[in-house]
Amino acid sequence: MKWARIAFEGKVHAAEALNGKLKLADGRLIDGEEAVWLPPIQPRTVFALGLNYSDHASELSFQAPEEPLVFLKGPNTFIGHKGAVPRPHDVTYMHYECELAAVIGRQARNIKKEEASHYIQGYTIANDYAFRDYLENYYRPNLRVKNRDASTPIGPWLVDAADIPDPMNLQMKTYVNGKLTQEGSTKDMIFSIPYLIEYLSSFMTLNPGDVILTGTPKGTVNTAVGDEVVCEIEGIGQLKNTIIAKERKENSNAALYPGIHG
């Protein structure tokens, strides 16, 4: 089954996909167009992977990592399907990253990869935008590149794990304004989802609602204000967003390191 979280008539609802409509918990059927789509889960700890597809690593002229390159994301960065992602006025390169997201369903500590599938509740799609101008070589990729407000659309659906028999063999596509710009398959991940669950749970506890964004294949290109970006993963759905201009605000002191005084 496919699940969404939506706002409708001033209330937040859990909704299930049914015959092209959304079925609310109270039984009403509504049209997707009537809903405001929210992230299908309210994530607590969110892990993301850098350079987890060897073709994308080589595209960015990096060696494929020997150990998962993991970073974390905060709740400020997530928005729902059909949301708007702000592009700061000063960036020269902002690229989408279509990613399969695995949602943890049971607490996991020291779990072996053979057992990992029992700990997954389901899957969704994330678009983990990066703003390359802000890359610096400290805790790279840093939060200024990867945790900006409203810069990670996620959804539309949380699809039950039982409905995705082989998450490690799904076609992925991204379209910008209807044109196919990225194509890949989850089979090309360097570190598979079961491996990532084993790796992370070997040193920390994973909790229900935690999410792992598993990285993106090659084919990331710059995007512009007004672009409509659609990330598609086989069996999971299509996640759409548009890019808007970030409003300029009077906050002149941003971005310059004051350095050492005295």
Partner 1 sequence: MTLISARLNGMEQMVEGTADLDHGKVSIDGIEYKVEELAFTSPVRGTIYGTLLNYQGALKELGEQVNHPPYKEAPKAPILYIKPYNTISSHKRPIFLPDGIEELEMGAALGIVFGKEAVNVSEAEALEYVEGYTVVNDVSIPHESVYRPPVKYKCRDGYCPAGPWTVDKDGINPDSLSIQVYIDGKLVQQNHTSNLIRSIPRLIADVTEFMTLYPGDMLLAGIPEGAPKAKNGDSVRINIESIGSLENTIMREYKGGDDR
- Return residues touching partner 1 (CB under 8 A): 44-45, 47, 69-77, 88, 134, 136-144, 147-149, 203-207, 249-251, 253-262
> Which residue, 46 or 116, has its beta carbon nearer to partner 1?
46
CB of 127 to partner 1, least distance (A): 17
Question: By three-state DSSP, how is residue 39 classified?
Answer: coil
User: Do 65 and 51 meet the contact criterion of CB atoms below 8 Å apart?
Assistant: yes
CB of 115 to partner 1, least distance (A): 19
> Which residue, 25 or 256, has its beta carbon nearer to partner 1?
256
CA 191/CA 64 separation, integer angstroms: 10
Q: Which residues pair with residue 131 across a beta bridge?
A: 94
Amino acid present at 120: I
CB of 108 to partner 1, least distance (A): 11
> Which residue, 208 or 235, has its beta carbon nearer to partner 1?
208
What is the DSSP track for 161-214?
Answer: GGG-S-TTS-EEEEEETTEEEEEEEGGGBSS-HHHHHHHHHTTS-B-TT-EEE-
> Which residue, 25 or 260, has its beta carbon nearer to partner 1?
260
CA 241/CA 122 separation, integer angstroms: 22
> Which residue, 8 or 199, has its beta carbon nearer to partner 1?
199
CB of 174 to partner 1, least distance (A): 24
CB of 16 to partner 1, least distance (A): 28
Number of CB atoms found within 10 A of residue 76's CB = 13
> Which residue, 47 or 157, has its beta carbon nearer to partner 1?
47
CA 249/CA 242 separation, integer angstroms: 21
CA 80/CA 155 separation, integer angstroms: 6
CA 55 to chain centre: 19
| Rounded CA Rg of the chain | 18
Question: By three-state DSSP, how is residue 107 classified?
Answer: coil
> Which residue, 142 or 192, has its beta carbon nearer to partner 1?
142
